[in-house]
Amino acid sequence: MTTSLTIQQAAAATGLTVHTLRYYERIGLIDPIPRQDNQHRLYRDEDILWIGFLLKLRSTGLPIRKMLRYAELRRLGDQRESVSERKAMLEEHTLSLETTLADLQSNLAVMHKKIALYANIETTLNAHPAIKTFDKEYGHEHAHKPTHKHTQTRR
């Protein structure tokens, strides 16, 4: 069973604006959408699935020019050259994503270590407010003063 959605319903289903859906159709990212007798677009299930895939490509940083090339190849159908080039594009993009993800995971590990370091310093400071601590990672000494106010004596 094929579902048909108006442009407003397709916008709601995909999270895109009506304007963006029209733009994607105009530049060729999505195929021309069939229209009713009154010229209103009717999006099919396969249109929504394709738009969902485009959103994945966009959210992972694939440039629009490459998305356009992919859409062009897709329109050629399952010919050997089209399939091979689409597969190669996805492999290249996937490798780029994996590299980015590894970099992010490495950076995240540094952040977790730093947070743990500061949690340990806080624990030490709470137990011994006047102690000096040393940030081993950056070689900085931190002199910590008690956080409570001392009463001043008058002379």
Q: Are 45 and 18 in contact (CB under 8 A)?
A: no
pLDDT in tens, 19-64: 999 999 999 999 999 998 888 999 999 999 999 999 999 999 999 9
Residue 5, strand partner residues:
43
Of 31, 36, 37, 26, the C-alpha closest to 5 is 36
Query: Would you say the pTM of this structure is higher than 0.75?
Result: no
The pLDDT of residue 149: 47
Q: What is the pLDDT of residues 55-100, one digit of tens each?
A: 999 999 999 999 999 999 999 999 999 999 999 999 999 999 999 9
Q: Using one digit for the tens of pLDDT, what is the confidence trace for 98-146? A: 999 999 999 999 999 999 999 999 999 888 877 666 656 556 555 544 4
Q: What CA–CA distances, in Å, run from 12 to 18, 41, 55?
A: 9, 14, 14
Tokens, residue 89? 């594009």
What is the spatial distance between Cα 119 and Cα 131, in angstroms, rounded to a whole number?
Answer: 15
Amino acid at 121: I
